[in-house]
Amino acid sequence: MTIDTAELLAIARDAARHTGGFLLHERPADLGVAATKSSPTDVVTEMDTAAEKLIIERIRAHRPHDGFLGEEGDASEGTSGVRWVIDPIDGTVNYLYDLPGWCVSIAAETAEGTLLGVVEVPVVGETFHAVRDGGAFRNGKPIHCRPAVPSARALVATGFGYTVERRTRQAEAIAALLPRVRDLRRAGSAAIDLCSVAAGRVDAYYERGLNPWDVAAGALIAREAGADVVVDLWPEADGSTMCVAAPAALRAELQTALAALHA
Ligand code: LIP
């Protein structure tokens, strides 16, 4: 079946823009926690659920035979060969606290992998997108990752899990890493962190325990911006893997350092 990538990108951008506007302008002043997942701090709000429903409705209106995988539980096999991977709010805790670091992340994948990705950051009015082999863009302008620097000069983004066990290990690793890099940043959204690598706003990003919807769009955008991105490193018994994104030479150096720190 021939896939019209331009059509899919237009649908993804429309859904991300529309949902981003809904989340930005309709956020209840008294927004609270509607449910929790892997721990008491792994939260879901009513807006996460509403946004995922909105995205799927908007896409399905154009693409009734596609499949879906959403963070908030929407999962359906399609018959078209296209599956949409959706994080309706990446950076949910930031959204809950009315901090700016949240986004809508939408990717379309086929049997060959991720075909396109859109990351909409409404509070700052930025839309990142990429199509496989088509480059990466912010608000329609090409973006590229920074040239590789030695890790001692690298500004490194990372994130933390929600369980005490994982956070204890992550704290030990980051305590050892901090003196060996320029500095660290913790934005609270994997998709935004990956887009920051793509736009040259950080030199590198790593995090263990991400879900497919956290990385689907951002990993393609970072790759299309010239970064090396690995998302399935060092699988552990809990099913978690490590994601590392950076220009090739720095990615290799950072990966070696993280391995030595048992991150
Ligand atoms: C978030 C990730 C972030 C991670 C947070 C959280 P969510 O996803 O994007 O990188 O550090 O703990 O998992 O839960 O906001 O969709």
For the cut 80, the answer to whether the pLDDT of residue 30 exceeds it is yes
122-162 residue pLDDT tens: 999 999 999 999 999 999 999 999 999 999 999 999 999 99
- Return the amino acid letter for 238: D
Two tokens, residue 42: 């792994």
Task: Tell me which residue of 139, 119, 143 sits closest to 224, measured CA to CA.
Answer: 143
Let me know: does 193 contact 246? Beta carbons within 8 Å.
no
Please name the residues in contact with 89: beta carbons below 8 A apart, sequence gap of 6 or more. 23, 45, 47, 48, 51, 95, 102, 103, 104
- 108 CA to middle of ligand 1, Å? 20
Range in 25-29, 42-46, 231-235 the model is least confident about: 42-46
CA-71 nearest atom, ligand 1:
16
Two tokens, residue 93: 């805790």
Annotated binding-site positions for Mg(2+): 71, 87, 89-90, 214
> Which one of 210, 231, 240, 241 would you pick to mutate in the ligand 1 pocket, going by the greatest count of ligand atoms within 8 A of its CB?
210
> Which one of 189, 192, 193, 206 would you pick to mutate in the ligand 1 pocket, going by the greatest count of ligand atoms within 8 A of its CB?
189
The residue with greater pLDDT, 38 or 107, is 107
Q: Any idea which fold 5-142 has?
A: Fructose-1,6-Bisphosphatase; Chain A, domain 1 (3.30.540)
Query: How confident is residue 1, by pLDDT bands cut at 50, 70 and 90?
Result: low
Assess whether the C-beta atom of 218 lies below 6 angstroms from ligand 1: no
233-248 residue pLDDT tens: 999 988 899 999 999 9
| Whole-model pTM over 0.75 | yes
Cα(212)–Cα(85) distance, rounded to whole angstroms?
7
Annotated binding-site positions: 71, 87, 89-90, 214
Specify the DSSP element, H or E, that contains 249.
helix 248-260
Which letter does DSSP use for residue 152 in this model?
G
- 227 CA to middle of ligand 1, Å? 21
Domain layout of the chain by residue ranges = 5-142, 151-260
Q: Taking all residues of the chain, what is their mean pLDDT, rounded to a whole number?
A: 96
Cα(211)–Cα(178) distance, rounded to whole angstroms?
25
Assess whether the C-beta atom of 214 lies below 6 angstroms from ligand 1: yes
Q: Kindly report the CATH class assigned to 151-260.
A: alpha beta
Let me know: does 251 contact 245? Beta carbons within 8 Å.
yes
Region at 262 (left for phi over 0; alpha for psi -120 to 50; beta for the rest):
left
Q: Give the pLDDT of residue 47.
A: 93
- State mean pLDDT over 64-86: 94
Q: Give the pLDDT of residue 38.
A: 85
Assess whether the C-beta atom of 51 lies below 6 angstroms from ligand 1: no
Q: Give the pLDDT of residue 85.
A: 98
Label each residue of 92-135 as H, E or C.
Answer: HHHHHCCCCCCEEEEEEEECCEEEEEEEEEHHHCEEEEEECCCC
Two tokens, residue 83: 């599956």
CA distances from 22 to 27, 104, 122 (A): 8, 11, 10
- 91 CA to middle of ligand 1, Å? 5
Cα(128)–Cα(261) distance, rounded to whole angstroms?
32
For the cut 90, the answer to whether the pLDDT of residue 225 exceeds it is yes
Assess whether the C-beta atom of 48 lies below 6 angstroms from ligand 1: no
